[in-house]
Amino acid sequence: MSNNKLSFTELVDLIAQETGKPKSLIRDLLHEFISVTSDGLTKDGSVNVADLGRFFLKWYAERSGTNPKTGEDITVPGHHKVFFKPAKSIRDQVNKTFAHLQANKVDTAQVISESKPVVEKTVPLVSTASPNKVVAPVPKPAPVRTKKETPKKKENKRRRWLWLLLIIPILLILYLWPGLLKDEKVPDEPAMLETPVVQPEVIPITDSPDKDQNPVANDTLEQMPEEELSETKAEVESVPEPNHPGGTHITGPGDRFRVIAESFYDHAEAWPNIYRVNQDIASNPDLLYPGTRIQIPPLYGNKDSYTEKDMEQIAEGYILVYLAYKKLEEPTAKHYLWAVQKWGSRELLELYKTRIDPNDLQKNDQIDGFPNF
Amino acid sequence: MKLPQQEVKALLKSTMKILGEQLEENESVSLSSLGILSCKTSKEKKSFNVVSREYWLYPPKRSVKFAASTTLKAVLPTKELNHEQ
């Protein structure tokens, strides 16, 4: 089929030849037809020509646009456009060639499975007149998207895996870094492994002779060199067992330090030794609340023969009792200061000199002997 | 023109017939001062129905187009017609 253009003159000739009328008449008729159609479009906006179709106008409103060449903003004014809708007779006549063809459903499974050959995969259109007859080969339908990976996707996937393989070791190193550092320090400090750090021994509140005479715990002894160990063992063997081991005591109604000392030491006069380690609990030596847990320090001597250490501790207890009574403004406080001379040396008084009232100290100097409390 | 209406009708009918034949033969017809009537062939096309999930192959189709001449465009009204369809 050729795509030639039939000019107006040729059309006139054809019509004249067909109808047998003069060309001038046909030309005038066509001019008149065009004139009427043009006028009808201009005035009414629509002209219907029988057996040909309908000419009609469509209005396009004003709009802003851009000149693609200059880039300038322009305003496209409102205008009409002429459209033509052919009559059904013309449409049928024009489509006479393809009238026997109908839309054909394509087998989806066939489309998906067939992917390679191009020519063989065309789906023929079947003529309605003879259904079995293949009318025209139809090009292969557009390939259906499958999950097949393209080379680009494969490359991207490979890159992602490479990044992952690179990042995972870095994260592992960062996670294990503190541990690695710790391990590296070990060779620099071998002694740390050989001799573990010995935690400082917790010394009980009581100033028991254990602190001085048994200064080392059994665990520590095991880790000491042999020479030191033998010396320490000798010291431990030489330490005597306390006559009054001490302990703890929960006070009952009517309990006083003197009574407790009588109970634990068999000697009431040694009660300041108990007060010495419990002065925080009882600010007033004469007052003890029932249910109070008090510590009883051990004494290595007995009523008739105290050790030097026992004497010093009891003397210090007397000083603390003096200070407590002095704080309570008890007039008898100075009497306890006198007792210090019996139990301890004057050096102890010198130690507490700043806290002792000088007047009480002078009186203490003037008195010989120990008053009977 | 002083022609009887019957004759004009017959002439126009013959004209339309010839126009149809020319368009059928894929030839453009030029109507001076009006425009050009042409026939365009669209190829067969495959479409996918999203509802039924089916592929359909549609046969080729021919349609008539019209391009208005500059003479006609020049006389067209510059304002929107009220009775425009």
> What is d(CA A82, CA A87) in angstroms, rounded to the nearest whole number?
16
More confident residue, A139 or A110: A110
Average pLDDT of chain B, as a whole number: 88
What is the percent of chain A where pLDDT is above 70? 68
Torsion of CA A38, A39, A41, A42, to 10 degrees: 120
Task: Judge whether A43 and B82 are in contact, CB under 8 Å.
Answer: no
Domain boundaries, chain B: 5-66
Mutate to test the interface with A, among B3, B8, B17, B19 (most CBs of A within 10 A): B19
User: What topology does CATH give the domain B5-66?
Assistant: HU Protein; Chain A (4.10.520)
Spell out which residues of chain A touch residue B12, defining contact as CB-CB under 8 Å: 29, 33, 50
> What is d(CA B66, CA A85) in angstroms, rounded to the nearest whole number?
9
More confident residue, A158 or B83: A158
State the pLDDT at residue A109.
Answer: 61
Task: Judge whether A40 and A46 are in contact, CB under 8 Å.
Answer: yes
Ramachandran angles phi, psi of A57, nearest 5°: -100, 150
In this prediction, residue A247 has a pLDDT band, given cuts at 50, 70 and 90, of confident
> What is d(CA A325, CA A373) in angstroms, rounded to the nearest whole number?
15
pLDDT surpassing 70 at residue A357: yes
More confident residue, A180 or A281: A281
How far CA B27 is from CA of A83, A281, B18, B24, in Å, comes to: 19, 124, 11, 7
Helix, strand, coil percent content, chain A, rounded in steps of 5 = 50, 15, 35
Choose among A331, A364, A333: nearest CA to A346.
A364
User: What is the SS3 assignment for A59-123?
Assistant: EECCEEEECCCCCCEEEECCEEEEEEEECHHHHHHHHHHHCCECCEEECHHHHHHCCCCCCCCCC
Give the pair of three-digit tokens for residue A18.
């067909």
Domain with CATH 4.10.520.10 in chain A: 8-96
In this prediction, residue A207 has a pLDDT band, given cuts at 50, 70 and 90, of very low
In this prediction, residue A159 has a pLDDT band, given cuts at 50, 70 and 90, of very high
Q: What are the pLDDT digits (tens) for A249-295?
A: 888 888 888 888 888 888 888 888 888 888 888 888 888 888 888 88
pLDDT surpassing 80 at residue A102: yes
Choose among B19, B35, B12, B29: nearest CA to A8.
B29
Mean pLDDT of B21-41: 89
State the pLDDT at residue B73.
Answer: 92
Mean pLDDT of A15-35: 89
Q: What are the pLDDT digits (tens) for A318-355?
A: 888 888 888 888 888 878 877 777 777 677 777 887 88
Mutate to test the interface with A, among B21, B24, B56, B70 (most CBs of A within 10 A): B24
Mean pLDDT of B65-83: 88
More confident residue, B30 or A350: B30
**CATH architecture group of domain A8-96:** Irregular (4.10)
Full-model pTM: 0.43
Contact call for B68 and A81, based on CB within 8 A:
yes
ipTM score here? 0.90
CA A329 to the chain's CA centroid:
63
Choose among A365, A359, A301: nearest CA to A333.
A359
